Chains A and B, each alone.
Chain A
């Protein structure tokens, strides 16, 4: 019963957060100075009439919401408008129908654009996270086991250096070395124009394109996981039950696997869940260095162009991911540590 209540309250809070983000997103971008009909275009050919026509096409001629002007929600306007004919209401109505709108920049449905970007980002982040999590945990565990030895210092040093490198810099260094020495591709997710191979050759081609961005991502993320794993494991090694396990004559591997790893998982789950949420948008630097067509890159472009529908859609998506990742982490706690659900 308690567990059910715990779950329900968590889900309720998550839904409230999402509704809050939905409303905030709408006003946040409109408060920024600028006009989507002119953003990104500095061309004398764009006449005032054309700009007006573009505004009408985007629906930006309507008031933001009652009592406020169009474009800028900080300027007061008429209150005597049909509330159903305001930008905010249209936004909410479309959203409830699952319609995220049409991008001002590409004239394509935002849903499609986010979908494409998200798949590419998940491929990149997914591989990168997997490698860095497994490697980070393994290295952390080994370093803690061999604490204060050369192995410990070497792993710790390496991970600290990798963690503190600027992402774009490491990306560019890997891009130069990888393409020069190994002939690895430096752009995109596959080679267009190669007859668009399917099956295994296509798979290998994508894999080849993945190597450098994934390596960059894993190296950057590795340190965080390794350090947390190492410090948690060190704490656990000093626990009495480890001494007991040793006294029972258990194999080192079994002690590490069953007693240390399992107990060290709690802080790891927190950090993994948090990172999963944030890295959906957080790979912008890697995506721009390697021209990886992911979500981060589309968001970056949308900000410059004041592409409200794209921004609203992707920020909502990111918020939902972060909230869900957190929810998932909390649910995982109660599975990993039965004490949590008593809260």
Chain B
């Protein structure tokens, strides 16, 4: 009797489970099979490999947060995918003859998403907020040259600068206009702690719902002044697993993915209703091979400057550049999805990228010849060269951050390449923080593989190689060239775009010829979207970012 009871219970549970499963299967079929009725909102679902750190534009650091700000806030200028700028909140602007006074005319009738009108006073409030809060990581670097900001009337703002700037567009493109009536309730330290969970702004999208690290959900702003988005809603869903991203787009759970493992590209290209888009990233990360050039005679405070003496000889660095097979690195590390690098200024940073620089070809004979000429011979026949005075073999420590996905293979290829030029590498991965502590301004290393995030303006990347950046730890190479420093200061205040471009190009030439870094490649952005869901994704532009506002305001459902 009890045995049968036991079986009955099991049977009931089994039936329940099966029916639940069946029901679910039926549901999913229904969802994909029945065409959408016009009344259901069109929702773009984005599989996102990150999530914003905070929605407060003042304290945000991650680029993911800026993607959200671009959707919900207006700025004076907007950034285009070809490196140019267009008017966003502005109708027009004028600049005085001395380049120090800008008069901005705002578009009339702009409203925040809570219905309050956006006036010149909000612009003044926002700019002053960014300027006053030195604990905001980035914002006050843009406002450093701002002297006074005044609202003349509801739609006119006058900005005076302490000195002329090359690009007011760049300086103001990330200065999002916040509603004064909400933000002015918070003062002092409280501003940084304000979670801004409503995100009241005037951009093309309005925040609906947000769960930290899970998803962020927007709806279109029907009153947007610059062309209302064609989709009703946008959801960014955070994925912590890139394989899951690929699986999600294959199975149609998301409509677009912002990243993927490069190994998945081939299989996604063959997947049904999925298109893979490859282009230069909007905000590229540049990998670099860094030589310790800090001089022990002139070591910065707190530094030890134990770099291998040979690396302070430009001939050795040049020889190592000839001994570096960049194409092999691109083929193996990036599976071909990249272009050979020159300097820290990447190929997508138009018009600042100097494409006239002739790259060192991979030439081992030339590398060996250069090292022989400079006196670095292998006197004891162990396959490793020694210093010209025979004192120290060319055995270099190579460190890279343990969280890097490219560095492990890159370093092995490098070791293989350089060994053939008689230079031996001792490779070890380090925790990024440990790496920072040996890097700079300590200079307790020989060679590093690391990278930089980039910015639309070249100044920041160029500043890394100035001697001014050595004591602060921003310069990882310890490179010191007064001629370069002078050009840097010049371009910083050059108002004429053509002259500035020439200065920037000249600077790239200097650091390339001195082989301050070897930049192995510029990686491509690889993204994918469903072709059966939405159309109009912006591809084939100099830069690619399908998650950027530029695409999301124009995509529309496939009928």
Contacts and interface: CB of A to CB of B under 8 A. Distances in A.
14 contacts: A43-B138, A44-B452, A44-B474, A45-B137, A48-B472, A48-B474, A56-B135, A57-B135, A172-B243, A175-B247, A183-B25, A187-B47, A204-B27, A288-B241
Nearest to B215: A192
Given A44-B452, A45-B141, A297-B240, A180 B251 contact: yes
A192 B434 CA distance: 39
B433 interface: yes
A290 B212 contact: no
A264 B189 CA distance: 59
Given A176-B247, A193-B235, A45 B451 contact: no
Interface string B83-120: 00000000000000000000000000000000000000
Interface of A: 32-35, 38-50, 53-54, 56-57, 102, 105-108, 113, 116, 172, 175-176, 179-180, 182-183, 185-189, 192-193, 196, 204, 208, 251-254, 287-291, 293, 297-298, 301, 304, 306
Interface in B31-61: 43, 45, 47, 53-54, 56, 59, 61
Given A43-B452, A193-B45, A293-B213, 10 more contacts: A42-B450, A42-B453, A44-B474, A179-B251, A188-B215, A192-B211, A193-B217, A193-B235, A297-B213, A304-B403
Given A107-B195, A187-B253, A192-B209, A42 B431 contact: no
B8 interface: no
The interface centre, meaning the residue of B212, B238, B450, B451 with most chain A CB atoms within 10 A of its CB, is B212
B251 A183 contact: yes
B112 to A, nearest CB: 23
Given A35-B436, A288-B241, A254 B2 contact: yes
Contact of B241 (A116, A253, A290): A290
Interface in B5-28: 6, 21, 24-25, 27-28
B253 A50 contact: no
B2 A35 contact: no
Contacts of A50: 134-138, 140-141
Nearest to B251: A179
A146 to B, nearest CB: 14
B475 to A, nearest CB: 10
B431 A34 contact: yes
B214 to A, nearest CB: 5
A44 B193 contact: no
Contact of A192 (B212, B235, B431, B437): B235
A106 B54 contact: yes
Contact of B28 (A172, A183, A252): A183
A33 B241 contact: no
B461 interface: yes
B233 to A, nearest CB: 6
B306 interface: no
Nearest to A292: B240
A289 B241 contact: yes
B432 interface: yes
B273 interface: no
B559 interface: no
Interface string B129-143: 000001111101100
A293 B434 CA distance: 29
A45 B464 CA distance: 10
Contact of A187 (B27, B248, B250, B453): B248
Interface in B379-408: 403
Nearest to B61: A41
Contact of A291 (B244, B452, B474): B244
A33 B140 CA distance: 28
Nearest to A291: B240
A253 B6 CA distance: 9
B214 A293 contact: yes
B237 interface: yes
A44 B244 contact: no
Nearest to B469: A44
Interface of B: 2-3, 6, 21, 24-25, 27-28, 43, 45, 47, 53-54, 56, 59, 61, 134-138, 140-141, 189, 192-193, 195, 209, 211-215, 217, 233, 235, 237-241, 243-244, 247-248, 250-251, 253, 403, 431-434, 436-437, 450-453, 455, 460-461, 463-464, 472-474
Contact of A33 (B24, B213, B237, B433): B433
Contacts of A40: 61, 432
The interface centre, meaning the residue of B209, B244, B461 with most chain A CB atoms within 10 A of its CB, is B244
Contacts of B134: 49-50, 53
Contacts of B21: 182
A314 B27 CA distance: 39
Contact of A34 (B59, B215, B217, B433): B433
Contacts of A56: 135
B140 A42 contact: no
A272 B453 CA distance: 47
Contact of A289 (B24, B244, B433): B244
Contacts of A251: 2-3
B211 A293 contact: yes
Contact of B137 (A39, A46, A298): A46
Contacts of A290: 241, 244
Given A35-B433, A46-B138, A297-B213, A108 B244 contact: no
Q: Which 6 residue pairs are nearest across A and B when measured between Cβ atoms?
A: A34-B433, A53-B135, A193-B235, A192-B215, A44-B460, A291-B240
A7 B43 CA distance: 57
Nearest to B460: A44
A290 B244 CA distance: 7
A111 to B, nearest CB: 14
Nearest to A50: B137
A109 to B, nearest CB: 9
B433 A253 contact: no
The interface centre, meaning the residue of A35, A46, A180, A297 with most chain B CB atoms within 10 A of its CB, is A46
Given A50-B141, A175-B244, A196-B209, A182 B25 contact: yes
A48 B469 CA distance: 10
A107 B213 contact: no
Contacts of A253: 2-3, 6
Contacts of B455: 43-45
Contact of B189 (A41, A57, A172): A57
A252 B43 CA distance: 58
The interface centre, meaning the residue of B214, B233, B243, B464 with most chain A CB atoms within 10 A of its CB, is B214
A297 B244 CA distance: 16
B248 A179 contact: yes
Contacts of A38: 436
B190 to A, nearest CB: 11
B213 A186 contact: no
Contacts of A180: 247, 250-251
B43 A193 contact: yes
Given A44-B460, A50-B138, A53-B134, A185 B253 contact: yes
A35 B435 CA distance: 12
Contacts of B432: 34, 39-40, 42, 304
A179 B189 contact: no
A32 B464 contact: no
A187 B251 contact: no
A47 B459 CA distance: 13
A45 B192 contact: no
Contacts of A47: 141, 472
Contacts of B431: 33-34
B244 A41 contact: no
A175 B243 contact: yes
A105 B53 contact: yes
B358 to A, nearest CB: 27
A204 B455 CA distance: 44
A252 B47 CA distance: 54
Contacts of B192: 57, 107
Contacts of A189: 214
A54 B253 CA distance: 40
Contact of A107 (B56, B140, B235, B461): B56
